[in-house]
A and B are shown apart, each in its own frame.
Chain A
Amino acid sequence: MSIVQLFEVAIACDVVLCCRVAPLQKAGIVDLIKKRTSDMTLAIGDGANDVSMIQMADVGIGISGQEGRQAVMASDFAMGQFRFLVPLLLVHGHWNYQRMSYMILYNFYRNATFVFVLFWYVLYTGYTLSTAINEWSSVLYSVVYTSAPTVIVAILDKDLSRRTLLKYPQLYGAGQREESYNLRLFIFIMVDSVWQSVVVFFIPYLAYKNSAIDSASLGDLWTLSVVILVNIHLAMDVIRWTWITHAVIWGSIVATWICVIIIDSIPTLPGFWAIYEVMGTALFWALLLAVIVVGMIPHFAAKAIREHFMPNDIQIAREMEKSQDSRDANQPEVQMSTSTRA
């Protein structure tokens, strides 16, 4: 039987058992599937003879146990028992996919929104690359104003609980079907980014068109608008709100405000005192409110429509969890101690 025939038979089966296999042949079997399909391969083993197989696979898992620690040292993940593979994939694999996908899309969105605002301004500066936003704010945007919420949400957010994910293994298919990170979602989030930048730029532009507004004040309005918008966008997408999530999202907005005030209190910078002057005008607050609301309406409406009329499995499972939680709350406490974790 040739290699190709072996592959075709193996693909047609649900489960294939190989016995009396040497270490290099184990690696060869993984390689057989890896080379001929675009699927992800995972290898799990506990002995020294599993090392080449573990290294050949995309994801290698070593069991530290009876046969020593060679498998662990060659692996990407190490566990104590074979049965831990189930929560590794269904729970942690699922969470990891959701978080990574959202974080990447959100990162593109928040940087693109900021840059597109500057892009629209180029059209009104004689095509020169002036920026009304203070240089310090431009640097601090990625570092202080919007980084902490991104990181915290990417670490802590969970779309479904461990219990639900173990109860319905079919939910793992969401990752296999690329439901959280695909071209369609990327285009949506870029369109949202362009829309919000248009709102942030053109609403103040039309209001300030023939007025005495100076660059620094307009730049401060943009800075605050963009930071508040991207953080509220994140707040709308966060699924699980812990106290840390609240602290970083609202705290970033407050920190941005404080930084803008401090930057505009330094006499050596050109925008000196602009924020105090502009905050004293009613038009500034009216514009800030208008920009935030108009920027968020499409995202909010799209989310409402998508979640109610075209729900995916994860959305249904979230709703089931919520009703389950309220049922649990009305019944005697069921202890979820650590020892019952799989």
Chain B
Amino acid sequence: MSVSGSESAASANKPKYSKFTQQELPACKPLLTPGIVIGAFSLIGIIFVPIGLASLSASQEIVELIDRYDEECVTASDKIGFIQDSKANKACTRKITVPKPMKGPIHVYYQLENFYQNHRRYVQSRSDQQLRDKDYKDPKAVAKACDPEATTGDGSLIVPCGLIAWSLFNDTYAFSVNKKSVTVNKKDIAWASDKNSKFGSNVFPVNFQKGGLIGGGNLNDKLPLSEQEDLIVWMRTAALPTFRKLYGRIETDIMASDEITVVIQNNYNTYSFGGTKAVVLSTASWIGGKNNFIGVAYVAVGGICLLLAMGFVVLYVVKPRALGDPAYLSWNKEAAEYSH
């Protein structure tokens, strides 16, 4: 069978040779040998267990005091009626005893449970352009973004609009340690990036909480939005239905066995939907808040990997196989069985 065409025609049709088009690029072809498997699991175990122990010890050192107050602060039987009554006295005093010394700055949080800041309609109900730019007044766009809290009854725009701002948390806490009052530093609790770029320094609240339904706290009309740090913290919507948000910081240390008295203005209505409220005092650490999970998880994973490494050692010793032995090819194995 002869090759078609003349020499010059054949070489004119021949595709240009390159290592890429002919798939002859130099390559390395690693194999998963027993050494690599055992080495990898051992390495993970050796790295993870110390990290886990360090995380656990850091978490154990954090002092965290959580006081849930929503149930006990309302003694009336009609809780919802009480909380919605603007004339009722909502002050509530709580006492917390400090078990271990707490080094400043001590972070004060309010913690909400069963509050879905990540609900789709809630999360979308905001207008970031309006928050930033005082001249942004396009009523249709704002109404679309902030529905149902975009305008008051007579159609004038609300600034800041939307359900997130409307539901601003408004419980307040006044602390005293051993009967001496302690100031809570409420500066710099929001992200600096939010204060500088997302919330305008010339945007002021307009028509806020003037509608029939009050959703939460009120705002000082004289302060621009970039200085309303509670609002900024609240509008960084939480990812999970149980969350806490920074209320402020106590800069001084607190000794063990000190008694902290909190006077709470119990304004915020979590009773209509079965939510809970708590005040949290926590020291800070490199691991964040008090949570044993990451330490336990690391130690557990490290331990499992070391066990796997030992298991593989046993398996490789009990059932060894020479790499690349042609006797294991299926047609050779069948031939061997056939000949027996």
**Chain A residues with a Cβ under 8 A of chain B:** 64-66, 80-82, 121, 124-126, 128-130, 132, 156, 158, 168, 170, 203, 205-215, 217-219, 239-245, 267-270, 272-273, 276-277, 281-283, 286-287, 290, 293-294, 297, 300-301, 303-305, 307-309, 311-313, 316-323, 325, 338
Contact = CB atoms under 8 A, between A and B. Distances in A.
B4 A80 contact: yes
A190 B74 CA distance: 51
B22 interface: yes
B88 interface: no
B259 interface: no
Contact of B31 (A268, A294, A322): A322
B297 interface: yes
Nearest to A83: B1
B301 interface: yes
Given A158-B23, A170-B330, 20 more contacts: A66-B2, A66-B4, A125-B116, A125-B119, A128-B120, A207-B297, A211-B243, A212-B109, A212-B245, A215-B123, A245-B27, A267-B197, A270-B126, A273-B191, A277-B191, A281-B288, A300-B40, A311-B321, A321-B324, A322-B324
Contacts of B289: 210-212
A126 B119 contact: yes
B201 interface: no
B238 interface: yes
Contact of A338 (B22, B40, B243, B312): B22
A163 B25 CA distance: 16
B316 A308 contact: yes
Interface in B283-328: 286-289, 291, 293-294, 297-298, 301, 304-305, 308, 312, 315-316, 319, 321, 323-326, 328
Interface of B: 1-4, 17, 20, 22-23, 25-32, 34, 37, 40, 44, 48, 51, 55, 109, 111, 116, 118-121, 123, 126, 128-129, 132, 191, 193-194, 197-198, 236-246, 286-289, 291, 293-294, 297-298, 301, 304-305, 308, 312, 315-316, 319, 321, 323-326, 328-331
Top 6 closest pairs, chain A to chain B, by CB: A319-B324, A273-B193, A128-B120, A218-B239, A242-B25, A320-B324
7 contacts: A66-B1, A80-B4, A210-B111, A212-B289, A268-B128, A319-B324, A323-B323
A53 B241 CA distance: 67
A294 to B, nearest CB: 6
B225 to A, nearest CB: 14
A227 B199 CA distance: 32
Given A318-B31, A323-B324, A214 B236 contact: yes
A80 B40 contact: no
A319 B329 CA distance: 11
Residue of B116, B119, B240, B288 most packed against chain A (CB within 10 A): B240
Contact of A124 (B129, B241, B324): B241
A316 B326 contact: yes
Nearest to A155: B23
A213 B27 contact: no
Contacts of A81: 1, 3
A206 B297 CA distance: 10
B243 A212 contact: yes
